[in-house]
Amino acid sequence: MKNTLLFLFSFFPNVIATVDLKPYDSDNAVIFIIKNFGINTDGELKGLKGTIKWDAENPPSSVFNVSVDVKTINTGIEMRDNHLKNEEYFDAEKYPIIQLASTAVSADNITGNLTIKGITKEVTFPYKATAYSGYYLFEGSFSINRKDFGIGAGSMSLGTAVTVNLKVKAKPLQ
């Protein structure tokens, strides 16, 4: 029996290396930064869900499909948070999630489809994956133009460039 298993695993070495992971909410997992009146203003999104199939030995076989809950937006000012949830900005009632689904993963970059307000755009960004005892940490950062996703109208005080910083923790599925 042992010889049969060794024989099978010699033909399928990546089967052992691939890990199915579940992302979970943690502080600073998804942070965004935008200029408002020339000052960096940040916020956080929670409700992290999805699946990650991670293969540290063969990153191109990895798959990321994660989302956050728009209704969890938190900039530290409740009135502003409620304003951002309305139709002009994120329209949280109609579009309750923001999703990122990878289309290609390399050792250095993730390319994927980012969907906000029903609009999907491709993003590519560098990332780093670190294994810890009991979880993995995936870190990356990318910028988008909020207008490309129909977030807010023209504004002299609100910038168009939004930086998104990710520090996503993920545990193996049980």
pLDDT the model gives residue 153: 78
Share of the chain above pLDDT 90, in %: 79
pLDDT the model gives residue 156: 74
pTM above 0.85, yes or no: yes
Segment 87-105, tens digit of pLDDT: 999 999 999 999 999 999 9
Q: Which residues of the chain have pLDDT under 70?
A: 1-16
Q: Residues 6 or more apart from 134 whose CB is under 8 A from it?
A: 171
Q: Where are the alpha helices (DSSP H) in the chain?
A: 2-11, 13-17, 78-84
d(CA 29, CA 118): 22
pLDDT the model gives residue 37: 86
